[in-house]
Amino acid sequence: MSTLFTKIINGEIPGRFVWKDQDVVAFLTIAPITPGHTLVVPREEVDSWTHASPELLAKVMDVAQSIGKVQEELFDAKRVGVLMEGFEVDHLHVHVWPAYSTADFEIHNVDNNPDPAVMDATAVKLRAALRSAGHGDAVPQD
């Protein structure tokens, strides 16, 4: 049975993608802690990071770090948060988000109703910044 993330990856459910390669995708979450909050997800359906191969986990974290570096600069963030929890979707995923204070690490402070126009604009900015950082091969056009 496909996970929610597999359905997003396969285009059955829309997603604001900022990264796509043969192993990993990244898209904005629908409930961001801060603008730019991105989920990094392997294409392979792996339930938990503890079940991923070392190679796949390294690839997921490499993409997360690349996105985090761009978020730090693009959003003028003091830090970038990273979290793997996996309770809502049984498919390995890493949350990566710009953080400005410890309050931005309260996962219960998510915006459950973000403005779609702001989300679209954020995705466009993040894709452009990732291209500028040399990741153009992995950044989708839309």
Global pTM reads: 0.96
The pLDDT value recorded for residue 109 is 87
Q: Taking a C-beta distance cutoff of 8 angstroms, is the pair 36, 97 a contact?
A: yes
Residue 99: per-residue pLDDT: 97
C-alpha count within 13 angstroms, C-beta hemisphere, residue 24: 27
Give pLDDT tens digits along the chain (142 positions). 689 999 999 999 999 999 999 999 999 999 999 999 999 999 999 999 999 999 999 999 999 999 999 999 999 999 999 999 878 899 999 999 999 999 999 988 899 999 999 999 999 999 999 999 999 999 998 7
Q: Cα–Cα–Cα angle for 85, 34, 132, nearest 5°? A: 100
Contact between residue 100 and residue 78 where contact means Cβ atoms under 8 Å apart: yes
Residue among 88, 94, 100 at smallest CA distance from 65 = 94
Indicate the residue type of 71: Q
What is the number of other CB atoms lying within 10 angstroms of the CB of residue 16?
21
User: Among residues 35, 2, 33, 44, which one has the least CA distance to residue 16?
Assistant: 35
Of 29, 28, 43, 30, the closest CA to residue 127 belongs to 28
pLDDT in the model for residue 1? 65
Q: What pLDDT, on the 0 to 100 scale, is given for residue 86?
A: 79
